[in-house]
Structure 1
């Protein structure tokens, strides 16, 4: 969640104004509130699923027509959070359509165009679908794949070192498969911290209480699962809270708010749960000792 929303700015309020030059709320801002959402904007949000459905059903003509409309809407809503999705996903599907017609050069051009996306909450965090890049890599289109990866590197947070490694291997002539879910350094560190945190907190309380409770080994057995349950609950409720705040809080202060809420949900809530378990054990020990 931190990666998805970190670094947002206030965006444009007029379709004829560059994004950084206007921050008023309107149909053209990054994430318009309900009163600013129009039928045209809703259409823009629906385009990805409509295009995917047409493509998966083999109706390439309809998919191409929808993509044309989608890219036209993207130019109107270039300051919207969905702009980067539109540029990447529509060009990727055009690339697959080109491949279905054995147009490898055309597919390569669409791949490079997809890499010119400015990113989005989804692309920045979970990363882009790399299937088209892998297809073209298997067909020997190394230069276009490298150019695409260099574009992706600009928005895919935490994957810079992984992408650099991919590019190095491709340029060295090694055969590789690009994997969207290969963890980068940031993901590995964040995952390690989240796994270790409940154990570290329990160890701290355990050392403090081991001489005050009769059954000291029962405490970690109960406290560790409690910490992970609290962490899970924190992650579940974090998303809806952030979405609600986005409608009332300016983009400039969203990053520190999200960072603080993430720390509270993933570290603070497990700490509180383990603390409460520790207090229950301590109170029970006091009662038993009279």
Structure 2
């Protein structure tokens, strides 16, 4: 860990000991709730570390504020302070990630899609006939997927890769908080920075068409450009009986799914069997009002599972 990782870990443990719990919503829901009367300023711990509301002296214990300062996650503006991180609870753990709004290019997102993706990864581990010996979470963000796999595959090497240094910092902290020493955060562009094959590859890559080009959100000009790049990299690195779980999104156009069509094309001749299903037919409806999705009927969430046959 780095010098500033240790106080962030201590902050997370302090919150856990205090019984802190928070389920992070979509940005649109977050904004709606924060616009309600009385929600402009924080009145307690969940307001600060969940709802990202500004706060003043006396709202948090002094030792908690000192840890925030030591960790470099305390912003001050006169007598008003703000946390630059949030803590979300899931699967019995706390995960640190970027505060709302996630507008910075290196923001590390955690939200409903994280919960969905991690549940899909858990299902893949539990469905396997053979134990997971080596796994990788591509574009790991907070490391939530890698940590969930490590908890259910004791002794496995679980690599958490990302190109964002902020994500790797949070993944280190979260792995420490969860007590999963098998998780190894590693800087890598897709799988170029790691060697060997994997029994399990999981990924929840950016899949939106994002005019702002935010790294945690932008999947390329068509939204599915980055997911397809991960698909191509992963299919060549699956061990015998290895499985890829790719959680993504797709803009449905005139009833057709362009991501599904591209997936079928990319997997032809690769020797893997695969399934593809919608897990939510209509999300991020507010995006349909903008030019990036003016061509789409809806945005759906999907899970692609691809397996290389044993032998």
TM-score, length basis structure 2: 0.25
**Higher RCO, 1 vs 2 (CA within 8 Å, ≥6 residues apart):** 1
Greater Rg by CA = 1
Q: Which has the higher helix share?
A: 1
Greater strand fraction, Structure 1 or Structure 2: 2
